[in-house]
Amino acid sequence: MTPDKERLMFKIVNKTAYIGILGLGYVGLPLGLAFVKAGFKVLGFDIDVNKVKKLNQGKNYLKHIGTQRVVEAKETGRFEATIDYSRVVNVDVLILCVPTPLNRYREPDMSYVFGTVDALLPHLRPGQLISLESTTYPGTTEEEIKPRIRSRGFKVGEDIFLVYSPEREDPGNKNFTTATIPKVVGGSTPACLKIGQALYGSLVDKVVTVSSTKAAELTKLLENIYRSVNIGLVNEMKIVADRMGIDIWEVIEAASTKPFGFTPFYPGPGWGGHCIPIDPFYLTWKAREYGVQTKFIELAGEVNTAMPEWVVGKIIDALNENEKSLKGSSILVMGISYKKNIDDMRESPAVKIMEILSARGAIIKYCDPYVPVFPKMRRHYFPLKSMELSKEVLQQADCVLIATDHDCFDYDYIYNNARLIIDTRGRYRGRPEKVVSC
């Protein structure tokens, strides 16, 4: 065991290691708070001055996390946020939790990862562990991150330790926390793996080690591609069932009684979030380097990407039945985050539906207590604020679209006051009057 490894291992085991979290979003912030709760001192890095300011004041900007968790972390005296990358030299562990989106050509945009690594390189010192948690293609850690570290004269596995451990956050899921979700870890060398295993073993109930960083990177992609393919399958089944006059929700419920060989997935207005619409294309892109065409994965992507257009078609048909055209009709969208009970707007299918409807002349309004003001996103924007739900607001809408089924909505109240409801989430099963299920 090298002196650097020995010292770092000692600090981790004794929880005196100083943890640095780079990127304080939906992954980084809960991870940092979990490390504080486990007894570590944490320094969070972010380029967003407003985020850093709020955290240092004990305020929170992610609704599903709750302000109390941030307050409790601040009260320990072991949590701080900064925009100053020169402080990287002070921490023992650097965990990268930055976005990995797609560019306009649906190819990996690694600028956040590479930019963050390049920013911390001048401040690295021997005896630090670097862990990449951002979802990426197999080979990123070894082919991109490792050479950058070596360029500074460090020896990976001797004085700097490098691992890949994919994030497994599920915002809004109260059944699982950061500590209770098993953590997959792959190391650049056996020494790196041992350090990574010790770090995450001090935080989570179970650590699952794999043979390489590439295996860990592909594990994350498999998890999300599995979901993508099954979501695509059930969405296609929904369209077939709709044409046949069959209730797809009833079919899923019946199939779910089989105690083996079937896992239920549920249809919706399209895929959303940072993982499912993005991650499959990371593998598709990388697979081309090996001469492989991922037809199955790409087909699922086509099905899921087409769902917002299908929903709009159902809205048009329903309005026509009521002798109304889409152009000029008032559409109230209920829920615009990508899934219920959170404020995460990334790749939300509701937003894509809103854009299609608006482009075709509809008047768009929305109601979402989790998103009081429509945020300025990378590719989408509406100058709108969330409507306060009332009898008048519901009755004035030509169509109410249930796009994201937050539990806080009063669905009976909506039903009793709306003129026409398009339900993409199965909330109004068994209520055919003025409800169109899609």
Of the residues 275, 367, 399, 438, only one is catalytic, namely 275
Please tell me the distance from the alpha carbon of residue 414 to that of residue 334, in angstroms, as a whole number.
10
- Pick from 71, 148, 154: nearest CA to 116: 148
Query: Smallest Cα–Cα separation from 432: which of 335, 318, 332, 316?
Result: 318
Distance, in Å, from the CA atom of 360 to the CA atom of 369, rounded to the nearest integer, reads 26
Quick one: three-class SS letters along 147-162? HHHHCCCCCECCCEEE
Q: Which of 303, 216, 292 is nearest to 268 (CA)?
A: 303
- 275 flagged as catalytic: yes
Radius of gyration of the chain (CA): 24
Q: Which residues of 304-336 are buried (b: 16+ CB within 10 A; e: fewer)?
A: bbebbebbbebbbebbeeeebebeebebbbbbb
CA atoms within 13 A on the CB side of 113: 23
Which of 138, 102, 114, 107 shows the shortest CA–CA distance to 217? Answer: 138
Report how far residue 206's alpha carbon sits from residue 182's, in angstroms, rounded to the nearest whole number.
Answer: 5
Q: Which two tokens stand for residue 81?
A: 């946020």
Is there a contact between 121 and 154 (Cβ–Cβ < 8 Å)? no
Q: What is the sign of the dihedral through the CA atoms of 255, 247, 357 and 362?
A: negative
Question: Which residues have a catalytic role annotated?
Answer: 275
